[in-house]
């Protein structure tokens, strides 16, 4: 089902939770990290890309790992929304990435959030009907899946730009987050 019928519409992939995001609970003896994933810097060192997609995708956070990568499963380039010059296939890379703990007390939850600088196209572009984005690790080049997806984020509806700028202003609570 498309973005508009999915619920919730912004989610972390279960397979990304298992590996690499919580892989350290098992250790590399029991579960090898994805191929070429940074063992020292994790997602803060890897190149994390954001690709735009139309409403023909069927976002599924419980998908098998082989279907969560960029250009696999539903996230194929035929469903991708691009601009020829300033938001090309594969998307744009996040900058100023952080993974930080905030808030929390004896009576309120803490949040561990992945955040990054807001993301804009490389210049004037034309984008038609982008409904959401796939956030994926472009540094993972092989294994069960290359360019493994971490999460997908819904834009709330169709977003289009004609000969203008396209900017993703991430939520103040992060691109994805864990809450206890």
Which residue among 62, 78, 96, 163 contacts other proteins (CB under 8 A)? Answer: 163
**Residue 102: its H or E element:** strand 98-103
Per-residue contact flags (x/-) with other proteins for residues 116 to 155, judged by CB under 8 A: --x-xxxxx-----x-xx-----------------xxxxx
Q: What is the dihedral of CA 43, 51, 155, 67, to 10 degrees?
A: -80
Q: Is 98 in the site for other proteins (CB under 8 A)?
A: no
Q: Which residues contact 105 (CB under 8 A, 6 or more apart)?
A: none
DSSP string, 40-87: TTHHHHS-EEEEEE-TT----TT--GGGSSTTSTT--GGGEE-BTTTB
Which residue has tokens 């509806």?
A: 157
Taking every pair of Cα atoms in the chain, the longest distance, rounded to a whole number of angstroms, is 51
**Least CB distance to other proteins at residue 66 (A):** 20
The runs of H, that is alpha helices, within 40-149 are: 42-45
**Least CB distance to other proteins at residue 156 (A):** 3
Q: Is 99 in the site for other proteins (CB under 8 A)?
A: no
Nearer to other proteins by C-beta: 34 or 132? 132
Q: Is 164 in the site for other proteins (CB under 8 A)?
A: yes
Size of the site for other proteins (CB under 8 A): 51
Per-residue contact flags (x/-) with other proteins for residues 2 to 41, judged by CB under 8 A: -xx--xxxxxx----x------------------------
Give the binding site for other proteins (CB under 8 A). 3-4, 7-12, 17, 109, 111, 113, 118, 120-124, 130, 132-133, 151-180
């Amino acid at each position: 089902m498309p973005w508009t019928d999915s619920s919730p519409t912004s989610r972390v992939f279960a397979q990304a939770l298992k590996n690499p995001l919580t892989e350290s609970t098992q250790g590399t003896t029991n579960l090898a990290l994805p191929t070429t994933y940074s063992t020292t810097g994790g997602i803060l060192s890897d190149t994390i890309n954001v690709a735009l997609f139309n409403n023909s995708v069927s976002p599924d956070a419980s998908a098998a790992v082989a279907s969560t990568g960029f250009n696999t499963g539903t996230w194929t380039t035929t469903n991708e929304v691009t601009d020829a010059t300033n938001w090309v296939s594969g998307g744009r890379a996040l900058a100023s990435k952080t993974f930080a703990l905030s808030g929390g007390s004896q009576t309120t939850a803490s949040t561990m959030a992945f955040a990054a600088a807001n993301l804009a196209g490389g210049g004037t572009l034309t984008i038609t009907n982008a409904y959401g984005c796939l956030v994926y690790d472009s540094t993972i080049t092989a294994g069960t899946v290359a360019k493994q997806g971490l999460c997908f984020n819904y834009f709330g509806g169709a977003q289009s730009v004609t000969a203008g700028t396209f900017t993703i202003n991430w939520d103040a609570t992060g691109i994805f987050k864990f809450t206890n």
